[in-house]
């Protein structure tokens, strides 16, 4: 059993050092600064949490008992920090304010609760830690359940942010690419799986493992994989909203009834827009956005958005990609393009990747480009 303890101590020690270095790299990164600083704080907190698992598994808590309130309450910070990181990616100029800091209330209450160790006599310390760190203790089980519930709640909040974000970007972007955050959504789903594994570890491991807190060490090791995956992918995550889009999406939030656009105006703009799209083929630009299209037709962005939503009954993403798919269908039907590779047809239709082309084509047509070509 001691060999297992040593292995997890070495592995988690390496992961903790690695995480601390990575957090400094993230904090110093200038691109996407706000999000990266929150991510750096999350990676740093989790790395210290890994040290906490070593603190318990190695038995150091007996000598350094006064550190226990800090390590024991730290897990209550993981859920809020993950939530704030995703918020900072999906909401431009997001900042931690007094209201947001209320999310750390469980962390503060937990620290106060565990600070009772300072009022316990040295002779009673061992019994106190037995009650905290052994799963046979009601207090230990209750504490672990609260942590798991909190993490699960924040996972649900994160998934809600992804859903809102997916709706938001389709109003202003004709492409998704790195703005869709599919990578971090998939990692959060992976976190749910790891969360379930952690629950199983707490419930099913033999007593000898629980006694030496190897369940805790293994849970932290699994979560370390999740945190470091986000950290490394976050290093290359660009800003999602530029300033122009931010002004439209976050600040103005102009309701359509206040745009001053009359019904007759909407019909006229719709005809003007459709005519321009056919003549100029603006959809051929794979990175075109709602503000860019509005500038081309010399119309306020919010009015263009209203026309696309109300008069065309669509959103910007679907509106542009319908043109691209129709263009691709024309190319696929031509005899002189029958031998062209799909990737060439994708680029010639305004798409910036084959995977996007295949996904959007099937979403809007019900069949893949290959199936359409054969038919």
Question: Which CATH architecture group holds 2-234?
Answer: Up-down Bundle (1.20)
Which of 351, 299, 344 shows the shortest CA–CA distance to 322? Answer: 351
Is pLDDT of 252 > 50?
Answer: no
At 340 the pLDDT is 65
Residue range 230-253: mean pLDDT, rounded: 58
The answer to whether 350 and 285 have CB atoms below 8 angstroms apart is: yes
Is pLDDT of 6 > 90?
Answer: no
Per-residue pLDDT tens digits for 119-137: 988 888 888 887 777 655 6
> Which residue's entry shows tokens 């749910």?
192
Residue range 235-254: mean pLDDT, rounded: 52
Q: Where in the chain is the domain with CATH 1.20.1070?
A: 2-234
Lowest mean pLDDT among 6-15, 109-118, 217-226, 274-283: 217-226
Cα dist from 136 to 74, 126, 149, whole Å: 22, 15, 19
Residue range 352-373: mean pLDDT, rounded: 89
Of residues 261 and 139, the one with the higher pLDDT is: 139
Per-residue pLDDT tens digits for 152-210: 899 889 889 888 888 878 877 787 766 677 777 777 777 777 767 666 665 555 555 55
What span, in angstroms and rounded, lies between the C-alpha atoms of 301 and 139?
57
At 361 the pLDDT is 92
| pLDDT-based confidence at residue 4 (cuts at 50, 70, 90) | low
State whether the Cα torsion 136-139-140-146 is positive or negative.
positive
Supply the mean pLDDT for the chain: 80
Q: Where in the chain is the domain with CATH 1.10.10.60?
A: 243-374
| pLDDT-based confidence at residue 247 (cuts at 50, 70, 90) | very low
Is pLDDT of 262 > 80?
Answer: no
Rg over CA atoms, the chain: 27
Is pLDDT of 70 > 90?
Answer: yes
CATH dotted code for 243-374? 1.10.10.60
The answer to whether 248 and 301 have CB atoms below 8 angstroms apart is: yes
What span, in angstroms and rounded, lies between the C-alpha atoms of 10 and 18?
12
Per-residue pLDDT tens digits for 42-66: 889 988 988 887 888 788 888 899 9
């Amino acid at each position: 059993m001691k060999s297992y303890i040593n292995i997890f101590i070495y592995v988690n020690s390496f992961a903790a050092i690695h995480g601390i270095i990575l957090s400094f790299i993230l904090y110093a990164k200038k691109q996407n600064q706000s999000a990266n600083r929150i991510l750096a704080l999350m990676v740093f907190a989790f790395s210290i949490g890994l040290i906490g698992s070593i603190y318990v598994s190695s038995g150091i808590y007996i000598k350094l008992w006064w550190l226990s309130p800090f390590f024991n309450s730290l897990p209550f910070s993981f859920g809020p920090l993950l939530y704030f990181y995703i918020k900072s990616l999906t909401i431009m100029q997001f900042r931690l304010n007094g209201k947001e800091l209320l999310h750390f209330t469980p962390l503060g209450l937990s620290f106060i609760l565990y600070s009772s160790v300072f009022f316990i006599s040295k002779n009673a310390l061992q019994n106190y830690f037995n009650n905290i760190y052994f799963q046979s203790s009601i207090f230990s089980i209750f504490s672990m359940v609260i942590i798991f519930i909190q993490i699960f709640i924040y996972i649900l909040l994160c998934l809600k942010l992804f859903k809102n974000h997916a709706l938001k970007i389709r109003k202003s972007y004709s492409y998704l690419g790195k703005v869709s955050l599919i990578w971090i959504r998939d990692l959060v789903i992976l976190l749910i799986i790891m969360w379930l594994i952690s629950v199983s570890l707490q419930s099913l491991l033999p007593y000898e493992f629980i006694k030496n807190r190897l369940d805790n060490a293994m849970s932290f090791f699994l979560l370390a994989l999740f945190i470091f995956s986000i950290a490394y992918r976050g290093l290359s995550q660009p800003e999602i909203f530029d300033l122009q889009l931010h002004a439209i999406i976050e600040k103005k939030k102009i309701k359509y009834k206040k745009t001053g656009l009359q019904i007759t105006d909407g019909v006229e703009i719709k005809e003007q827009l459709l005519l321009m799209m056919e003549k100029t083929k603006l959809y051929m630009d794979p990175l075109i956005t709602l503000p860019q299209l509005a500038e081309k037709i010399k119309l306020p962005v919010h009015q263009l958005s209203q026309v696309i939503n109300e008069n065309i009954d669509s959103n910007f993403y679907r509106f542009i990609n319908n043109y691209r798919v129709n263009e691709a269908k024309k190319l696929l039907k031509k005899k002189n393009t029958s031998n062209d590779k799909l990737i060439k047809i994708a680029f010639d239709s305004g798409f910036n990747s084959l995977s996007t082309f295949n996904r959007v084509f099937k979403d809007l047509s019900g069949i893949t480009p290959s199936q359409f070509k054969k038919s």
